[in-house]
Amino acid sequence: MLDELQQFLWAVETGTLTAAAKRAHRSQPALTASIHRLEDELGARLLDRGPGGARPTAAGQALIPWARAALAAVERGRRAVAEIEGLAAGEVRIGAGATACSVWLPPVLTAFRAAHPAIRLYLREGSGDRVLQDVASGALDLAIVADEGTERWLEDELVLVAAPGTEPSRLPHLTFPHGASHRALLDEHFPDAEIAMELSSLAAVRAHVERGMGVALLSRAAVRERLEEGALVEVPDPRTPIRRTLWLVHRGPDLLSPAARALRAMLLS
């Protein structure tokens, strides 16, 4: 019906069906048939046709403002879709564990924000199980997890670290609560480890290790600068480094919004 409404308005604006047909790039009989379909749909004659041209009837006059409003609404909808497709608006919600949030994601999200400043970014730190549930429910668009996911993202390795000058063999382990991938790997590879602290924050674990409170199994990427600065030392152990794959999780590329698809592409690049 949108085409018929537009052609009706052109007939009103030009005053003749011939001129309206030229504007619509249609033959006059085709345009006349279009007007007839609209009249049949609405159950009223909309135009008086005569030697002097086409003039709107009372019903046609009543339709004009509504036809214009309908076409304007559709155009606004088209622009809204174009803005989303052009990444001029939108939001991406992503969840990840402590290391991804602290180490891997900041440079990527910074680059994404620079490339698409109008896109809102929402990042939530959480355990693998929680963020997987949120992706499945649609609460999150993307997630980074250590368990198997949708697409391989990157390879990471975990090492034991301690404060310089300490005796690591005498120190307890500082780690994350159950549900974190670091904790699962610690329990798997160090089943007899004495746990002294369970902390939710990577920064908290690292800070206590630097104070000599214990040793920790952490991503090498998360402690690289502190190792280079001498604030931490790597503890040699035959069980380390422990390699793990980080995965990108989503419900499928076709189900992602244009903004989320763009962030996925940047992550995978």
Domains of the chain: 2-85 (1.10.10.10), 94-151+246-268 (3.40.190.10), 153-245 (3.40.190.290)
pLDDT band (50, 70, 90) for residue 83:
low
Burial, 149: exposed, middle or buried (Cβ in 10 Å; 0-12, 13-18, 19+)? Answer: buried
- Count CB neighbours of 129 within 10 A: 12
Number of DSSP helices (H) and strands (E) in the chain, helices first: 11, 11
Helices (DSSP H) in 100-153: which residue ranges?
Answer: 105-115, 128-137
Across all residues in the chain, what is the average pLDDT? 91
Q: What is the pLDDT of residues 28-42, one digit of tens each?
A: 999 999 999 999 999
Q: What is the pLDDT of residues 138-197, one digit of tens each?
A: 889 999 998 777 899 999 999 999 999 999 999 999 999 998 889 999 999 999 999 999
